[in-house]
Amino acid sequence: GDSVTQMEGPVTLSEEAFLTINCTYTATGYPSLFWYVQYPGEGLQLLLKATKADDKGSNKGFEATYRKETTSFHLEKGSVQVSDSAVYFCALRNRGYNKLIFGAGTRLAVHP
């Protein structure tokens, strides 16, 4: 069945460092891909999404490109801030299905 694999955390970075969180997926057809973020004490929020191959989702300085050839949707940010400390979840949703399929989440800690 469909699945999402993302890099294990925690990831610890200094402020202004470059961030990459790897995400790969297995799916039939052409799923939509998402990154959700959970800040401490809050619910999941959609960070960005891409609905077809080669689409780039972007928001708040974060970017991810839908790579069908490598079945990947890696999350990147050029310069992280302390306020980016959160848990990041990669997810997919296939056409004809209602559910989101999530990876295990990657905790990011950014220190000054």
Partner 1 sequence: EAGVTQFPSHSVIEKGQTVTLRCDPISGHDNLYWYRRVMGKEIKFLLHFVKESKQDESGMPNNRFLAERTGGTYSTLKVQPAELEDSGVYFCASSPRHEAWDEQFFGPGTRLTVL
To which residue do tokens 């080669």 refer? 54
Q: Which of 11, 23, 35, 49 binds partner 1 (CB under 8 A)?
A: 49
Look up residue 82 and give its DSSP letter.
G
Q: How far is the CB of 69 from partner 1 (least distance, A)?
A: 20
104 binds partner 1 (CB under 8 A): yes
Give the angle subtended at the CA of 27 by the CAs of 24 and 33, to the nearest 5°. 60
4 binds partner 1 (CB under 8 A): yes
111 binds partner 1 (CB under 8 A): no
- Is 90 within 8 Å of 104 (Cβ atoms)? no
Residues 6+ apart with CB under 8 A from 36: 44, 45, 46, 47, 88, 89, 91, 102
Q: Which of 44, 59, 72, 76 binds partner 1 (CB under 8 A)?
A: 44
31 binds partner 1 (CB under 8 A): yes
1 binds partner 1 (CB under 8 A): no
Provide the binding-site residues for partner 1, judged by CB under 8 A: 4, 31-32, 36, 41-46, 49, 51, 89, 91, 93-105
